[in-house]
Amino acid sequence: MNNELLERLEFLFLFSKNRDKLKMIIIGFIIISRIEFLYKHYNIEKRIKEKVKLNNKKLKYIIKQKKKWRIIN
């Protein structure tokens, strides 16, 4: 989720007269970012499952390593 954009939307929400529209924008932004997050991690898990056939514990460990690698880079 883009924290700078969310902070700007919160700032606008505090000082705006039209709060209902901004509420809808903020909620929509959060929902879209969650969907993107789930989609990315689903695809990572799917690719790993196709390449490596291991038991679930090892698979989860590989997925965690991938997530850490993405956060570092």
pLDDT attached to residue 21? 75
pLDDT at 65: 60
DSSP state of 17: S
Angstrom distance (rounded) from CA 39 to CA 31:
12
pLDDT value, residue 73: 37
Q: Which two tokens stand for residue 1?
A: 């989720």
Please name the amino acid found at residue 43. N
pLDDT for residue 67: 58
Distance separating alpha carbons of residues 7 and 53, to the nearest angstrom = 42
Domain-wise residue ranges, the chain: 3-72
The one-digit pLDDT tens for each residue of the chain (73 residues) are: 567 777 777 777 677 677 777 777 777 777 777 777 777 766 666 665 655 555 555 556 656 665 555 444 3
DSSP character string of 2-60: -HHHHHHHHHHHHT-S-HHHHHHHHHHHHHHHHHHHHHHHHHHHHHHHHH----HHHHH
